[in-house]
Amino acid sequence: MDKKQTWNAAYWLLAALLLVWVQGLWQGAQRIEPVPYSEFDEPALTALQAQLRLA
């Protein structure tokens, strides 16, 4: 391969690796952590009680 073809192949390899890396970052940011219902319900119940006291 001549110098231009080598540069082109290296460019595409680097671009593919960068794309996979960015996709990994994106997927990591999109991860959802499950919350137990008891942890979810407590703040909602407290907020509801506060609204009822005001009314």
Q: What is the pLDDT of residue 28?
A: 83
- Closest by CA to 44, choosing from 54, 52, 34, 55, is 52
Between these two residues, 6 and 46, which has the higher pLDDT value? 46
Chain segment 8-46, per-residue pLDDT in tens:
888 999 999 999 999 999 988 887 888 888 787 888 788
Residue 32 CB partners (closer than 8 Å, separation 6+): none
The answer to whether residue 1 scores a pLDDT higher than 70 is no
CA distance 38 to 46: 12
Q: Please name the residue that has the structure tokens 């319900």.
A: 41
pTM exceeds cut of 0.85: no
